[in-house]
Amino acid sequence: MRLTQATVRAERDRVRENDRVVPLVNDVRDALGDAFEADVGHVTREQYAREVDAVFADGDVAVNVAALAGLLRDLDVAGDYPGFVVDELLGRELAATLAGGRPFSLLAEATFHYADIHTHGSDGEAAGRDDLDAALAAGFQTRLPGWDWTETESPFAIEE
């Protein structure tokens, strides 16, 4: 894999145009909202596209996101199971990178596992493709607004 500004731009376009991510984000948010008895806002296609642009506007993040997404898109292991470890590792890292620093990166990694078990690629697709979709959904659902607790001030902030 060779990464250039052109390949990073092309990856941004592929990520932005991925029609499977927004429905998966909303499915994940619905399921997590039910599990945690929370009302979680849905994400629109426009919100997703704007956030993709924001991620790729930071060159240091963009090159890493492009590399991880490209690796997952093409990753295929005969029989799939032997590749389970590497696609999980890459998926978690992509979700965490998209979400940002702690604690959001950790939440995105955990959410990746949930999204991954509910995401299955189409026949003939590389095994890593569904992990790519799950990672994008987990990372973007974590960084986008909609969770009440992320939109209020923390009760643990200490002001002096």
pLDDT in tens, 106-133: 999 999 998 988 777 666 666 778 899 9
Average pLDDT, the chain: 89
**DSSP state, residue 66:** H
Q: Is the peptide bond before 103 cis (omega within 30 degrees of 0)?
A: yes
Q: Pick from 5, 99, 112: which is nearest to 55 by CA?
A: 99
**Domain edges within the chain:** 5-148
pLDDT in tens, 74-109: 887 776 666 678 888 999 999 999 999 889 999 999
Whether 1 has a pLDDT exceeding 90, the answer reads no
CA 69 to CA 15: how far, in whole Å? 8
Is residue 138 within 8 Å of 130, Cβ to Cβ? no
